Amino acid sequence: MKKVPRIASLCILFAFSAASLVVAQTKGTLVFGLSGNPDTLDPQKTAGTLTFQVVKSFYDTLVEPNTDGTIVPALAESWTVSPDGLIWTFKLRRNVVFHNGQPFTSKDVRASLERIKDEATASPKRSEFAAIKEIRTPDAATVVIVLSQPYAPLLASLASGWGAILPSGLIASGHNFGAEPVGTGPFKFEKWIRDNKITMVRNDTYWMKGLPKLAKVEFQIIPERAVQVQGLSAGVIDAVEFIDPEDLPLFSSNPKVSIKKELTSLIMVMAMNCSREPLNDLRVRQAVNYAIDKQVVLDVAYGGGKVGSTFLDTGNAYYTDFSYLYPYNPDKARQLLKAAGVDTREFTITVPQNYPLHVKAAELIQQMLEKVGMHVKLQLVDWSTWLSSVYNGGNYDFTVIGHTGKLDPDGTLAGYGTGKYVKWINATAAQKIKEAAAISDFAARKKLYTEVLEIMAKEVPFVYLGTSYRYVGTRSNVVDFRMTPNLDTFDFRWTELK
């Protein structure tokens, strides 16, 4: 992994310290070390984790997950579902106001959902709302969503970041939400200086009384791990999402820094482009899986975790273990590679450089693949390039990344088997995923998802590393910093600086 030289990183730290120290010492202002630039601040035009982590503070959704992941009321006070699962009726909160002063009504819900359904919006989450046939607004405080077919994941989609409610007036005027978000959330957008910082200030008219408790949050965009570590140590940064396990000893004797260890809902994987030779050969993908000691990668790169064997986080109620299929076996990997005729071909692992833990994992995987005779190089790219070229463009052999959890398994699995993701095609899996989305009964859904996960575990379009631990670092005076369950977004509503 390419590291920032100590002298250079200190210079970077001091340079941004001078600009930030006054802010950091201002009562009620929290400075957060963000690992990269969001690709946009429009919640309906992205699948990027960094965007959702930031815009969580600007927008509300009709419903939201509570601290244990249960979906509870938010902008909607209550909801009912017809016995056939086709009609969802939401009763909305009154006296909610957008940041631009526009009152929140049912028109805004309709406009927001129609916007994400509109093909012109080009939302990567559009398919999650495809079952919506009609949106009725009988009065300002009532929204009736009529589906063309039962769709069990609807509530989870409405509770996720892409279910954000935007003001209908600004939607109609073509407002640029990507550069200037406007919602009903606990904080108002102030400014975004790309590659530098994003700032937001308290929404004094927020509908949850007494919240938020902070006056201001400043995201300092700091891709360099060394600078984040030094900033947290020096008190210039109040919180960071990930502390590299290598850096934990630096904080062990620092009483002004608190480290919280927690199992994430991330699905850590190395994706394989199944449309590229020789990765379109199952034997090669199997060999790659046999070649990698997944527990070692989790332990060394991510500070530990639970090894996974298919494409759901290991703590998910729908997860099924298939780890017996591809245990660590370098000799078996060599045999399969020889049988497939893989010898001189060079492979590339493309990794977003702003995530040093993924870079470290890629380095370990590179070494393991080299040991079984594969020729592998690393390519580090910035986050925007990774999103456009790798995630959306499919320009890669391998890529190491963590997929955020979802509130419903359909949010994770929808689209797989169709060739949309990792260029993997399996009509049986795609059909079972589609069938499961129309079923509300847990046991029946789990049966279908288990069958899908077994197919994915056997055909290995990924190397499934597992679910990692996260080491969140905060200054000791930071109280009640929360991460949204499964979605891994930042929730600053309850956070205080003591």
Q: Report the pLDDT value the prediction gives residue 225, as an integer from 0 to 100.
A: 87
Name 417's bridge partners: 425
The separation between CA 490 and the C-alpha centre of its own chain, rounded to angstroms, equals 11
| Nearest Cα to Cα of residue 447 among 316, 295, 320, 334 | 320
Q: Where in the chain is the domain with CATH 3.90.76.10?
A: 63-172
Q: Report the pLDDT value the prediction gives residue 345, as an integer from 0 to 100.
A: 86
Q: Report the pLDDT value the prediction gives residue 339, as an integer from 0 to 100.
A: 95
Assigned fold of 267-468: Dipeptide-binding Protein; domain 3 (3.10.105)
**Amino acid letter, 390:** V
Assigned fold of 63-172: Dipeptide-binding Protein; domain 1 (3.90.76)
Q: Report the pLDDT value the prediction gives residue 69, as an integer from 0 to 100.
A: 87
Mean pLDDT, contiguous 10-residue spans, the chain (498 residues): 37 45 60 94 93 97 93 98 96 97 98 97 95 98 97 96 98 98 98 96 97 97 93 97 91 94 93 96 98 97 94 93 96 96 91 94 98 97 93 95 92 94 96 95 96 97 95 97 91 97
- Residue 195's region, left for phi above 0, alpha for psi from -120 to 50, else beta, is left
CB-CB contact of 379 with 348 (8 Å):
yes
Q: Where in the chain is the domain with CATH 3.10.105.10?
A: 267-468
CATH number of 6-57+185-256+476-497: 3.40.190.10
The separation between CA 21 and the C-alpha centre of its own chain, rounded to angstroms, equals 30
Q: Where in the chain is the domain with CATH 3.40.190.10?
A: 6-57+185-256+476-497
Q: Report the pLDDT value the prediction gives residue 27, as an integer from 0 to 100.
A: 60
Phi, psi of 144 (to 5 degrees): -115, 115
Locate tokens 């994400």: which residue?
116
